[in-house]
Chain A
Amino acid sequence: MLRGAELQAIYVMWLRQMKRFIRSRSRVIATIVQPLFFLFLLGSGLRAAMIPGMTGDYIYFLAPGLIAMAIMLSSMYTGVSVLWDKQFGFLQEVLVAPIGRLSIIIGRTLGGATTALIQGFIILFIAIGLGVPISNISGLLLTLVFMVLIAFTAVGFGLIIASKMEDFQGFQIIMNLLIMPLFFLSTAFFPIATNPVMPSWVKTLSFLNPLFYMVDGLRGSLTGLDNTFPPIFDLLIVIVICSVMMTLGSYFFSKSEA
Chain B
Amino acid sequence: MEIIKTENFTKKFNGFTAVDHISFTVKKGEIFGFLGPNGAGKTTTIKMLTTLLHPTEGSAKLAGYDIINERDKVRQNLGVVFQDPALDTELTGRENLDYHARMYGLNKDTRKKRIKDVLMLVDLEEKKDVLVKNYSGGMKRRLEIARGLMHSPTVLFLDEPTLGLDAQTRRAIWKYIKKMNKEENTSIFLTTHYMDEADYLCDRVGIIDYGKILVIDSTSNLKNAVGNDVITLSSSELNKLGKKLEKEPWVKNIKQHDTFLTIGVKKGEEKIPVVFEIARSLEIKIKSIGVRKPTLDDVFLYFTGRSMRDEEPENPFKERVRIHGRR
Contact = CB atoms under 8 A, between A and B. Distances in A.
Interface in B21-46: none
A73 interface: no
A4 B106 CA distance: 10
A8 B105 contact: yes
8 contacts: A9-B103, A89-B85, A90-B87, A90-B88, A92-B80, A93-B100, A98-B105, A258-B53
A5 B52 contact: no
Interface string B79-106: 0101011111111000100011011110
B90 A90 contact: no
Contacts of A16: 88, 91, 99
Given A16-B88, A23-B90, A166-B324, A92 B52 contact: yes
Nearest to A98: B75
B72 to A, nearest CB: 5
Given A23-B90, A89-B82, 6 more contacts: A3-B105, A8-B103, A89-B86, A92-B82, A96-B52, A96-B75
B102 A11 contact: yes
Interface in A184-236: none
A54 interface: no
Interface string A1-39: 001110011011001100110011000000000000000
A95 B52 contact: yes
B177 interface: no
A248 interface: no
Nearest to B91: A19
B54 interface: yes
A19 B53 contact: no
Interface residues of B, number: 31
A134 interface: no
Contacts of A20: 88, 90-91
Nearest to B324: A166
A228 B52 CA distance: 49
B50 interface: yes
Contacts of A11: 102
A221 B327 CA distance: 46
B78 interface: yes
Contacts of A95: 52
Q: Which of A4, A19, A91 has the most CB of B within 10 A?
A: A19
A97 B153 CA distance: 12
Interface in A95-122: 95-99
Given A16-B99, A166-B324, A98 B104 contact: yes
B284 to A, nearest CB: 55
B256 interface: no
B51 interface: yes
B76 interface: yes
Nearest to B320: A89
Contacts of A258: 53-54
A11 B105 CA distance: 12
B156 to A, nearest CB: 12
B104 A88 contact: no
Given A19-B95, A96-B52, A90 B86 contact: yes
B78 A4 contact: no
- Which residue among A4, A91, A92, A94 has the maximum number of chain B CB atoms within 10 Å of its CB? A92
Nearest to B54: A258
A-B complex: 4 closest residue pairs judged by Cβ atoms: A5-B105, A89-B86, A98-B75, A97-B103
